[in-house]
Amino acid sequence: MVYKSLLFTCFVASLFRNGNSFSSTKPLIKSWKIQSNGVLFSSIDNVEQPKQLSSVASSKQKKKNLKTFSRYLEIESWKRGPAARDLEPVLRSVGEACRQINRIVQRAQTDDLYGVAVDADGNPLEDTNIQGEVQQKLDVVCNAIMLKQFCGCSKGVIAAVASEEEDEPRGCDEVMGDNAFAIGEYVAVFDPIDGSKNIDASLPVGTIFGIYKCTPGTKPDEKTFLQQGNEMVAAGYCLYSATTVLVLTMGSGVDGFTLDPDKSVFLHTHPDIRIPSEGNICSFNEANYRDFKVPVQRYLNAAKEGATGKKCSARYVGALVADVHNVLINGGIYGYPGTYQNPQGKLRLLYESNPMGMIIEQAGGAASTGTGRILDVQPTEIHMRVPTFLGSIDNVYELDQFHQYYDDE
């Protein structure tokens, strides 16, 4: 009798749940039984989620009201005038290239894009690129994407491109197979996939680019690309990591855009990025510490002890874009100094140091070779390398002081 009363009580309670009405559409109890330990156990079809869980689930579907990358470019073109309007189709194409490369990076394992590049017969390529590095499959694919997007964005805009993966610059008429693309007002430089070896371990990688003016109506040659970094009109990078972020400067501040995975469009999530004036991140490959020159060694020793300000915290991913982005957001210093074996370091001035230096400076930081401003270095050839230090202005200033006051013993 007690058991039947208990069943009836539970049955009535289920009917009046959430509204105290027999008209409730909530699921009813299907069956009841008593377990061996005496606890009443219910079996319910389509059990309703608790209200607090339902509200959390629904909140995940809400999106911030953010401008798209395309809308941002439209507004900036209107504000900045004809020069910015000329670059609008180029930068749209850069965004599309980053979107495509992001998808390829995510599918690298399932689509067999890991490892070194192979020839038509499936044999590993024996040749190295101009940097002396064995090309990865992703290097080849991403390089092709960047070439097509820069040159194919619009006729009469980009006249020629120089890639970190190729020996010589290429005219867009050659890339596109059409003489209509031979003339333009700009040239572009890029590293299609920075840190490609990180892909095998699912670590962050990135794309870097810079855009320069050229003499209108002329066909660019290698000398056209040998411009100082302070003559760039735009620079940026894409970071492929936990989120895909496009960071861009057109010479008056830095803005960041995050790829919405649902709509596959970049949204303006980081307006007017400013790097902290000082930070505690030190991003150096300290496996090379003993090969660093004395000023860099002394700076790192002092930074670890907190003698230069905040005590440094070592962070190093091994991909320039990932390490610099961390410094840009949180403050600190990134360094790839020269060593006794490689006095000029390993970073390329045109493809890496200049574009990243422009971004850091536009965000309120500093970009230095240790003895001078990176953007003032005159390139002598397109694959020229320079020691590179990027980051918060106080951190970079301190490192420059060590170069000034300590001899290289």
HSE, side-chain direction, 13 A CA sphere, residue 72: 25
Going by the DSSP 8-state scheme, the letter that residue 18 receives in this structure is T
CA-CA-CA-CA torsion sign (33, 35, 40, 45)? negative
On the question of a common fold for 82-240 and 281-405, the answer reads no
Q: Each residue of 170-181: b (16+ CB within 10 Å) or e?
A: bbbbbbbeeeeb
Task: Please compute the mean of the pLDDT values over residues 212-235 and round it to a whole number.
Answer: 90
Q: Are 84 and 76 in contact (CB under 8 A)?
A: yes
- Distance, in Å, from the CA atom of 207 to the CA atom of 98, rounded to the nearest integer, reads 8
Higher per-residue pLDDT: 64 or 352? 352
Task: Please compute the mean of the pLDDT values over residues 293-314 and round it to a whole number.
Answer: 90
- Distance, in Å, from the CA atom of 237 to the CA atom of 91, rounded to the nearest integer, reads 11
Q: Would you state the pLDDT for residue 117?
A: 56
- The length of the chain is 409
- Distance, in Å, from the CA atom of 218 to the CA atom of 209, rounded to the nearest integer, reads 22
- Spans of all domains in the chain: 2-47, 82-240, 281-405
> Domain 281-405: which topology?
D-Maltodextrin-Binding Protein; domain 2 (3.40.190)
Q: Would you state the pLDDT for residue 204?
A: 94
CA-CA-CA-CA torsion sign (24, 26, 32, 38)? negative
HSE, side-chain direction, 13 A CA sphere, residue 204: 22
Contacts of 277 (CB under 8 A, 6+ apart): 331, 364, 392, 393, 394
Q: Would you give the distance in Å from CA 211 to the centre of its chain?
A: 17
What percent helix, strand, coil does the chain show, rounded to 5?
40, 25, 40
Q: Would you state the pLDDT for residue 55?
A: 53
Residue type, 84: A
- What is the assigned CATH class of domain 82-240? alpha beta
Which element (helix H / strand E) includes 19?
none
- Distance, in Å, from the CA atom of 314 to the CA atom of 317, rounded to the nearest integer, reads 10
Angle in degrees, 0-180, between the axes of helices 82-106 and 137-151, rounded to the nearest 10: 150
HSE, side-chain direction, 13 A CA sphere, residue 332: 24
Banded pLDDT at 23 (limits 50, 70, 90): very low
Banded pLDDT at 63 (limits 50, 70, 90): confident
Which element (helix H / strand E) includes 100?
helix 82-106
HSE, side-chain direction, 13 A CA sphere, residue 381: 6
Q: Would you state the pLDDT for residue 16?
A: 46
Rg (CA), the chain: 28
Average of per-residue pLDDT values in the chain: 84
- Distance, in Å, from the CA atom of 223 to the CA atom of 396, rounded to the nearest integer, reads 31
- Distance, in Å, from the CA atom of 315 to the CA atom of 280, rounded to the nearest integer, reads 10
- Residue 372: CB atoms within 10 A of its CB come to 12
- Distance, in Å, from the CA atom of 286 to the CA atom of 296, rounded to the nearest integer, reads 11
Global pTM exceeds 0.75: yes
Q: Which residues pair with 335 in a beta bridge?
A: 389
Is pLDDT above 70 for 73?
Answer: yes
Instruction: Please calculate the CA angle 209-379-239 and round it to the nearest 5 degrees.
Output: 20
Helix (H, G, I), strand (E, B) or coil at 343: coil
Q: Are 344 and 385 in contact (CB under 8 A)?
A: yes
Q: Which residues pair with 34 in a beta bridge?
A: 40
Task: Please compute the mean of the pLDDT values over residues 143-159 and round it to a whole number.
Answer: 91
Q: Which tens digit of pLDDT belongs to each residue from 347-403? A: 999 999 999 999 999 999 999 999 999 999 999 999 999 999 999 999 999 999 999
Q: Which tens digit of pLDDT belongs to each residue from 165-197? A: 999 999 999 999 888 888 889 999 999 999 878
